[in-house]
Amino acid sequence: MDIETALNKIAGKLVEYVEDAATLSVITQSVDVGKTVDFKQAKPVASTVIKIDGDSTTIVPVRATDSGEEIDNAMFSLHGQNVSLAIQYRQNILNALIAALPMSRR
């Protein structure tokens, strides 16, 4: 494969990645760890969707209390860590793809 073909492939992958990266979805799930663990039984407990234009939606875990509902802080904290890692991973991949392009194509 010549350099021009390789660069065109990289540019094409970058376009695909940017299109896929338009929406970042993170779902945190839980599973009962009784006698046996069946990960197919995992249930979503928190969800975040971030769109490329900055719009975002987050569904937070709550539990019923005598005074109403309260956020499950431990699960929400874990979900926040998952969201941060997903954002960082996406940025690292995008930076690597951009770095692979020659200066004339950036």
Q: How many domains does the chain have?
A: 1
Residue 50, pLDDT score: 92
* Parent domain of 27: 3-105
pLDDT averaged over every residue in the chain: 86
Mean pLDDT of 44-61: 92
Residue 97: is its pLDDT beyond 80?
no
The token pair that represents 23 in the structure block:
């929406």
Q: Is 5 helix (H, G, I), strand (E, B) or coil?
A: helix
Residue 28 to residue 82: CA distance in whole angstroms: 8
Residue 103, pLDDT score: 65
Residue 81, pLDDT score: 97
Structure confidence at residue 94 as a pLDDT band (50, 70, 90): confident
User: Would you say the pTM of this structure is higher than 0.75?
Assistant: no
Mean pLDDT of 32-53: 88
∠ Cα 12 13 17 (to 5°): 120
Burial of 43 (0-12, 13-18, 19+ CB in 10 A): exposed
Residue 70: is its pLDDT beyond 60?
yes
Tell me which long-range contacts 6-15 makes (C-beta under 8 A, separation of at least 24).
7/101, 7/102, 7/105, 10/97, 10/100, 10/101, 11/101, 11/105, 13/97, 14/97, 14/98, 14/101
